[in-house]
Amino acid sequence: MTVFRILRVDLSREHFTEEVIKEDLLKKFLGGRGGLAAYLALKEIPRGGIDPLDPSNKLFIFSGPLSGIATISSSRINVTTRSPLNGVYTHSNAGGNFSYWLRRSGYDGLIIEGKADEPVYLVIKDGEPKLKPAKHIWGGKWTGGASTKIILEENGFPPDETKAGVAVIGPAGENLVKISGIRFSDYERFAGRGGGVGAVMGSKLLKGILVWGGTRDLSKELVDRAKFMKVNTDIVKRIATHDTTKVLHKYGTNVLMNIIQSIGALPHYNFGGTGKLKDVTPVSEEYIKDHYPTEVHGCYNCPIGCTQMPIIKSGPFKFSVTEKYVKQEYENTWSLGPNIGITDPEADLKYQKLANELGLDTISLGNTLAMAVELAKNGKLNLDVDWGGDPGAIEYLIYKIAYRDGVGDDLAEGDYRLAVKYGMPQLFSGSRGQGLPAYDPRALKGFAIAYYTANRVVTT
């Protein structure tokens, strides 16, 4: 009989409970995101006007049924909760290896509830959970990458994110920034979209989670292993040899930059710009790969390997020795580039690196910065920023947002609340209080339907 094992973690009582979801319920709510997690979240999170940052809110961190078994791009982890950004049900998704190691650890999902008395992180090794103090990696300098390294080393692992699954929040999550997310291994995988899942984790004083397992054999849980592996192998062969796979492996998702620009669907200037930016070639992946050293990575068990990780080695935006490279995607590059009038690839990549380390959703961050520029140009905010203006001023604002410092405290509420507070809600382009992603619905009508009918703003 197929089962789904959940570890319920009550941070308030420092108590763990193992629960099993039986096959009959799994058949009704298949999958970790829209199925079982949605069902349990809607059942367990209190209805009415509770504050999403209240201890009564919960985090559902679930794998899918194919994670760790199928080699068909199935290594995804899903986070479901009530969103601090807009107060409604939301889910956020990330790749990497966390989902695989969670299942190998003995569990298919985690339910995090309550609130710790002081910062902690959760460790699960071969089904044995424990909470450890995290005050030493809470606050100030402790970015996502640095925290991940410390958690690995404290639990007997080398500082190599492929050796275990780790999820952490950065300063933005600790400071309850409503556009913060959760960083997952291996290397800057991010549950960002969905509206402040990092802030929910921060509100519970949970800095991170490490999962690892060596004894659970997921393949033994298959009903017909031989048939499953045959189908899986056939599908992988088709994916691996497809022309789209070859392009994605070479250029990643940012191959879309020039394509979306060419059809007039690339938003810019807070969705207010008409026509096209003159040239977005410098922030296209074709240009970036020609001009900057780039490593190519892939999520666990994925035959595509599309993740492009460029490095800036010199100049005002160079990465530090510890930063190494940045996980770059199309929507990240758009949101912190053309969306705010920036076509300097080094500035754009640096902003992405800061967002990943500080724990900010890149799309919401870009939308919020674009809104700040709009409000400044309308005389509502006293900021020296403009479309494509001083890159240093944008970098300064990113830090301000993550630490809720000065004007950053307003920006930390997200673009919709920022527009409302300063009396210009008409400048907001979004749905349910969350700004739109990197496809202009005026040019792509199908996206308009998805944006405004989905249970939260979604992207492809």
CA distance 170 to 207: 8
Helix 345-358 with 362-377: angle, nearest 10 deg:
120
> Using one digit for the tens of pLDDT, what is the confidence trace for 318-376?
888 677 889 999 999 999 999 999 999 999 999 999 999 999 999 999 999 999 999 99
Residue 259 located in a structural domain: yes
Residue 171 lies in a domain: yes
Is position 340 within any domain?
yes
Which of 187, 219, 251 delimits the end of a domain?
219
Shared domain for 271 and 157, answered yes or no, is no
For 256-277, give the DSSP string.
HHHHHHHTT----TTTT--S--
Q: Which of 213, 160, 202, 150 is nearest to 185 (CA)?
A: 160
Q: How confident is the model at residue 456 (pLDDT cuts 50, 70, 90)?
A: low
Asked if residue 231 is part of any domain, the answer here is no
User: pLDDT for 36-89, tens place per residue?
Assistant: 898 999 899 988 778 999 999 999 999 988 888 888 878 899 999 999 998 888
Which CATH number is 314's domain given?
1.10.569.10
Q: Is the pLDDT confidence value at 460 over 70?
A: no
The overall longest dimension of the chain from CA atoms, in Å, is 67
CATH number for 24: 3.60.9.10
Task: Round to the nearest angstrom and report the end-to-end CA distance of the chain.
Answer: 34
Based on the fold, state whether residues 281 and 210 are members of the same structural domain: no
Shared domain for 260 and 345, answered yes or no, is: yes
Residue 236 domain-assigned?
no
Read off the pLDDT of residues 401-422 as tens digits, 9 standing for 90 and up: 999 999 999 999 999 999 999 9
DSSP for 343-402 reads: --HHHHHHHHHHHHHHTB-HHHHHHHHHHHHHHHHTTSS-----TT--HHHHHHHHHHHH
- Alpha helices by DSSP H, listed for 50-121, are 98-104
Q: Does residue 11 sit in the same domain as residue 158?
A: yes
Which tens digits make up the pLDDT trace of 245-255? 999 999 999 99
Q: Do 202 and 261 share a structural domain?
A: no
Using DSSP, state whether 247 is helix, strand or coil: helix
Strand boundaries in 205-349, DSSP class E:
206-212, 294-297, 307-310
Residues 32 and 69 in one domain: yes
**Sorting pLDDT into bands at 50, 70 and 90, what band is 457?**
very low
- Rounded mean pLDDT, 93-103: 94
304 and 417 co-located in one domain = yes
d(CA 76, CA 392): 35
The β-bridge relationship of strands 206-212 and 120-125 is parallel
Whether pLDDT at 445 is above 60: yes
Which of 162, 184, 219 marks a domain boundary?
219
- Are 47 and 142 members of one domain? yes
Same domain, 284 and 413: yes
Q: Which position has the higher pLDDT, 277 or 430?
A: 430
CA 391 to chain CA centroid, nearest Å: 24
Q: Are residues 203 and 139 in the same domain?
A: yes
Q: Domain limits at 304?
A: 242-453
Asked if the model's pLDDT at residue 382 lies above 90, the reply is yes
Check pLDDT > 60 for residue 196. Answer: yes
Domain boundary among 219, 250, 268: 219
Sequence-ordered list of residues with C-beta below 8 angstroms from that of 385, at least 6 positions apart, any chain: 369, 372, 373, 376, 393, 394, 397
Examine the pLDDT at 399 and tell me if it is beyond 60.
yes
Same domain, 211 and 103: yes
pLDDT class of 459 with cuts at 50, 70, 90? very low
What average pLDDT does range 237-249 have in this prediction?
Answer: 93
Are 109 and 79 spatial neighbours (Cβ–Cβ below 8 Å)?
no
Whole-number Å distance between alpha carbons of 340 and 259: 19
Q: Judge whether 227 lies within some domain.
A: no
| 383 and 429, same domain (yes or no) | yes
pLDDT given for residue 275 in this prediction: 58
Instruction: Give residue 23's pLDDT.
Output: 84
Q: Which H/E stretch holds residue 108?
A: none
Does any domain span residue 266?
Answer: yes
Q: Does some domain include residue 226?
A: no
pTM for the full predicted model? 0.94
Average pLDDT of the chain? 91
Domain count, the chain: 2
Q: What pLDDT score was predicted for residue 274?
A: 59
